[in-house]
Amino acid sequence: MTNAELFARACDVIPGGVNSPVRAFGAVGGTPYFVTRAEGPYVWDVEGRRYIDLVQSYGAIIAGHAHPRIVDAVRRAAGDGTSYGAPTEREVQLAEAIRERVPSCDKVRMVASGTEATMSAIRLARGFTGRSRVVKFAGNYHGHGDALLAESGSGVAQLGRAAGGAQLDVDEAGTSPGSAGVPASAVADTTIVAYNQVPHLDDSVACVIVEPVAANMGLVAPAAGFLDGLRSACDQVGALLILDEVITGFRVAWGGAQGHYGVRPDLTCFGKVIGGGLNVGAFGGRADVMDHLAPLGPVYQAGTLSGNPLATAAGLAALDLLDPDAYDTLGGRAGRLACALQGQFDAAGLVARATVVGSLVGVYFGDHHPVDYADARRTDEAAYAAFFHAMLQRGVALAPGAYEIAFPGLAHDDAVLDTVVEVAGEAAAVAAAVAGSRSSP
Ligand SMILES: *Cc1c(COP(=O)(O)O)cnc(C)c1O
């Protein structure tokens, strides 16, 4: 069976052939590879090709695919039943493990995805403050909830083109919802502002939600003073500060981005790494805020599979592999990777920048350092597509979208990364030809 055959079958029965839009390769062209299995830094497709995988489930995997300790934890948990509808000890252990690493989380609630975590945190912030307005940053992605999709980077950045220019409602303040099917009323209380600028807030604001390191518009680090500035701006008007650490949590540092940058939010959203590759999200924060949740308080939030036994087993096993030393290893490797990639780009005459924060690595195809979404969107998407395919042909899988980032993990040792860098040299030459042919008339 070939990838093309399977994709044709998939397209017949699944919209676009995929269960999450970016996977369809719409932004880069071509046919997606269908994975049969994965191990460590590698995935194999149905044609038997092996790729060095830098997608790593968009950041859900940090210890490498099919890590024996995680697989074993899931197997053992599955043998005891897959879901009960009653609490379990592992849910308590995972909440405690999160609080130990992220001290701003007095209390934690588990959900089943990052989207659910942000949706629930927003509802809680509104319920706690009695206010409606949510401030979000252009280019930050917080999952696909109605109120938060507007200008949210990642796959949404490419929606207009894929859909042939979707017709979207626009609310009175001019906020476009980001997707058809989201009414203007759903974003009437969403205000979008530019990343890396502390907005002026008033007392209608329930919360400010932010990716502490923006990782869905390529990689954009917070400017000095940005996160602290948000903290004070929120305090001045009694708004809550929500950090969306779905990507950064347990990845950029032991204590997440908030530990790394020394900022204390009121609420934090988690996902990805804490599920060890299973369906998990969580949100946590100040006890007085969290105690507004049902059954203690008036803010309703629930889930049949929340705190699922397999997911909590996988999450605990993943966190267990991540001692503070692991972050030194990850950061060191990612730093060397970014530096070596930059060397290859320069050598190939490709105008591009490799950026790094902790173990997150981004590539921007342009000649300056993006600080917000307007900058980030000036990346040369055609050059990215060329780079992406040149890498894939040579056995290195990046995410099929110019606004996604690379996730080197504990399984990407120096030998693996050396191969990535070598391949990137050839791919940079291919991309440079595309970028050059476009910029010269
Ligand atoms: C992936 C992501 C989400 C959404 O998580 P899902 O599990 O895909 O619903 C939310 N916020 C950020 C920052 C993300 O990267």
Residue 156 gets which letter from DSSP? G
- C-alpha angle 211-213-218 in degrees, rounded to nearest 5: 100
Provide the residue count of the chain: 441
Rg for the chain (alpha carbons), in Å? 21
pLDDT tier for residue 200 given thresholds of 50, 70 and 90: very high
CA angle 97, 101, 107 (to 5 degrees): 65
pLDDT, one tens digit per residue, over 329-354 is 999 999 999 999 999 999 999 999 99
pLDDT tens digits along 70-103:
999 999 999 999 999 999 999 999 999 999 999 9
Lowest mean pLDDT among 38-47, 140-149, 205-214: 140-149
Closest C-alpha residue for ligand 1 atom 15: 247
Entry pTM: 0.96
Residue whose tokens read 């990716």: 211
Task: Write the CB contacts of 1 (distance below 8 Å, at least 6 apart in sequence).
Answer: 46, 47
The mean predicted confidence, pLDDT, of the chain is 94
Contact indicator for 74, 275 with CB cutoff of 8 Å: no
- In this prediction, residues 144-148 reach a mean pLDDT of 91
Distances (CA, A) of 319 to 63, 94, 268: 10, 9, 17
pLDDT tier at 174, thresholds 50, 70, 90: low
**To 5 degrees, how large is the angle CA 136–CA 141–CA 146?**
75
E strand or H helix at 93 = helix 89-101
Ligand 1 and 366: CB distance under 6 A: no
216 lines ligand 1 (CB under 6 A): yes
**In the predicted model, is pLDDT for residue 439 greater than 80?**
no
| Ligand 1 mean position, distance from CA 320 (Å) | 22
The 3-state DSSP class for residue 118 equals helix
pLDDT at 169: 62
User: Ligand 1 centre and the CA of 214: distance in Å?
Assistant: 12
Element (H, E) at 279: none
Best probe residue, ligand 1, of 62, 120, 141 (max atoms within 8 Å of C-beta): 141
Question: What are the pLDDT digits (tens) for 381-427?
Answer: 999 999 999 999 999 999 999 999 999 999 999 999 999 999 999 99
Site to substitute for ligand 1 among 272, 305, 306, most atoms within 8 A of C-beta? 272
Helix then strand then coil, in percent of the chain rounded to 5, is: 40, 15, 45
124 pLDDT higher than 50 = yes
Burial class (CB in 10 A: 0-12, 13-18, 19+), 218: buried
Confidence of residue 168 (pLDDT cuts 50, 70, 90): low
Closest by CA position to 252, among listed 327, 321, 142, 196: 327
Report strand pairing: 50-53 vs 42-45. antiparallel
| Cα–Cα distance, 44 to 315 (Å, whole number) | 24
Could you tell me which of 88, 73, 71 has the C-alpha nearest to residue 306?
88
Residue 288 is predicted with a pLDDT of 98
Give the pLDDT confidence score for residue 202 in this predicted structure: 97
